[in-house]
Amino acid sequence: MTTRQDRIAALHAAARERILVLDGSWGVMIQRRELSEAEFRGGRFADHPVQLKGDNDILCLTRPDVVSDLHDQYFAAGADITETNTFSATTIAQEDYRLSPDDVFDLNREGARLARAAADAWTAKEPGKPRFVAGAIGPTNRMLSMSSDVNDPGARTVTFDEVYDAYSHQVRALNEGGVDLYLIETITDTLNCKAAIKAILDLADEGVEPLPIWISGTIVDRSGRTLSGQTAEAFWHSVRHAKPFAVGFNCALGGELMRPFIAELSRVADTLVAAYPNAGLPNAMGDYDEQPHETAHFIEEWARSGLVNIVGGCCGTTPEHIRHVADEVAGVSPRAIPERPVAMRLSGLEPFELTA
């Protein structure tokens, strides 16, 4: 695969043939390294005015060896797709660390380049199993749909244009770095997601080569709703206009509790369905106790029930979790994409469908 178009064609072909596997958690693996403040700073940020320890994304610039090693670990475990280490790499989120827009752009571009190099190396090593790079686009730390002041329902700390600009800045850098698709993930606020979608679609309108879009929301509890209040089906109706390569859920819930919402999305979405749960729910100390074989057991059941096309792991999952997941879904046919009848479908917090 010598061009991006070749890679995208291979991605679509692989999705038709088998259930694809995404990598697992980055946070838990980076925490295990117990890196020092000096290691987070590196030479470039040696005199930075605030603490950088905890800004995992900055490691794309200061400890690229750590980032590359994690890509390799997940590919070795059986992942088809790796995420860039850019989950919080927007100008808005990086304001907490006082990074400049130029720093944030470099962070995203280099994160994409590191993932691209790892994917290309593994594809060359195992040509029968091409590897792909998803540009990770997180939710930012500010919401458009919810007030920042309980006494003022209209209060917001950010505008749609500001969120759009932040995502546009990130998307351009990820594109330049060589990602194969964009992954808008851990979506708690659908309006934030729409800003990211617009940033991606506008980039394509400028003549930049369009890339597949994967949209992954987060159901926050057993109510089956996102933080901004939408059900699974309503969420799908809200983002379907983007014609995503895949849609699904990640984070918040473990595999056992996520299943009914994946099943609902599988019923209504006429595109690939993806799911990458946490390793169960966190314990009292915030750690995840679900073992690799337990996570893989839930995901295997989804696969054999015909619910999913892409699987992986979120918080608390490790390369060993991904190895078990990849082993369990190997040979299982991917979900068949349903043909939905023509209808007018709308959504607010709830879905609305009107057929002839």
Contacts of 140 (CB under 8 A, 6+ apart): 88, 90, 92, 93, 158, 163, 166, 192
State which amino acid sits at residue 272: L
| 206 CA to centre of own chain | 24
Question: What whole-number distance in Å separates Cα of residue 177 and Cα of residue 4?
Answer: 12
| 69 CA to centre of own chain | 19
Question: What whole-number distance in Å separates Cα of residue 16 and Cα of residue 18?
Answer: 6
**Paired residues of 152 in beta bridges:** 149
Question: What whole-number distance in Å separates Cα of residue 71 and Cα of residue 81?
Answer: 9
Alpha helices in the chain (DSSP H): 4-17, 27-33, 37-41, 59-62, 64-76, 101-125, 160-177, 190-205, 232-239, 255-268, 292-304, 319-329
Question: What whole-number distance in Å separates Cα of residue 235 and Cα of residue 162?
Answer: 23
* Nearest to 183, CA basis, from 272, 91, 83: 83
- Going by their DSSP bridges, the two strands 81-83 and 132-137 should be labelled as parallel
How far, in Å, are 84, 89, 159, 320, 355 from residue 102 at the CA level?
A: 18, 12, 21, 36, 50
> 193: annotated binding-site residue?
no
> 315: annotated binding-site residue?
yes
> Which residues fall in the annotated binding site?
251, 314-315
> Which residues fall in the annotated binding site for Zn(2+)?
251, 314-315
